[in-house]
Structure 1
Amino acid sequence: MHVLRHTYASVLLDAGENIKALSLYLGHADSGFTLRVYTHLLPASEDRTRRAIDAAFGNGPPGPDGRATA
């Protein structure tokens, strides 16, 4: 059961779900706890952040893949 729960959290985080929502789904009273437990699953967040900033500063709107276009 623990592996299924962890897989559920991993899939949602990889899909871009936020920690606060995930905390609610998992029944955690404190989203900080959820963040501490699952923070290692957020490496893609740097990529999403970089794309958002690139798009905001005129390096082109995000394309179909979410990346800024030149």
Structure 2
Amino acid sequence: MKELIRTGDQVLISYLTHRLAEAGVESFGMDAHMQRSLGILPQRIMVADEDYDRAQRILDEVRREG
């Protein structure tokens, strides 16, 4: 697994996870429990090594939209 993004922006995390799922890219959110408890730590979105390039393109699209 590779880290795609690390952010505390919950809206971005939610939207990116949705877009990845639409494209058939399985993602795994790490540190979500820490984000909820403390509210200060960034959450990581991880993807499989073989999906990383496609996921990075989707992340780039999401950033351009925002």
TM-score relative to the length of structure 2: 0.31
Q: If each structure's helix is expressed as a fraction of its own residues, which one has the higher value?
A: 1
Q: If each structure's strand is expressed as a fraction of its own residues, which one has the higher value?
A: 2
TM-score relative to the length of structure 1: 0.30
